[in-house]
């Protein structure tokens, strides 16, 4: 027996403020105390301009864990009369 599955809604969570390429090492830290020599080549190749990290840029500590991010994304699915009671896993 086959069960048909349809994805008809998606949600995502982007934690904290976006981090630019220039800020990336300030948030994540340096490799062996040095700035990356390959970073600019890689960033130019991948085209990513900003990214989101769970890390608090001031303290270096995570602000969210996986369960919190997942719960926030699931809550993002709830609208148009669709509630948590309608969700089945």
Tens digits of per-residue pLDDT, 30-58?
888 888 888 888 988 999 999 999 999 88
Rounded CA gap, 89 and 74, in Å?
12
CB 78 within 8 A of CB 84: yes
Range of the domain at 71: 19-79
Instruction: Look at residue 1 and tell me if it is in a domain.
Output: no
Instruction: Look at residue 12 and tell me if it is in a domain.
Output: no
Rounded CA gap, 48 and 63, in Å?
23
Residue 2 has pLDDT above 90, yes or no: no
- Looking at the 3D structure of the chain, how many domains does it have? 1
- Predicted model pTM: 0.72
Instruction: Look at residue 42 and tell me if it is in a domain.
Output: yes
Instruction: Look at residue 85 and tell me if it is in a domain.
Output: no
């Amino acid at each position: 027996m086959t069960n048909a599955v349809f994805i008809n809604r998606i949600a995502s969570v982007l934690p904290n403020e976006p981090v630019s390429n220039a800020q990336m090492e300030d948030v994540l830290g340096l490799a062996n105390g040095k700035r990356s020599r390959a970073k600019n080549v890689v960033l130019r190749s991948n085209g990513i301009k900003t990214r989101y990290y769970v890390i608090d840029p001031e303290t270096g500590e995570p602000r969210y864990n996986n369960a919190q991010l997942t719960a926030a994304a699931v809550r993002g699915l709830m609208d148009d009369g669709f509630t948590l009671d309608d969700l089945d896993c």
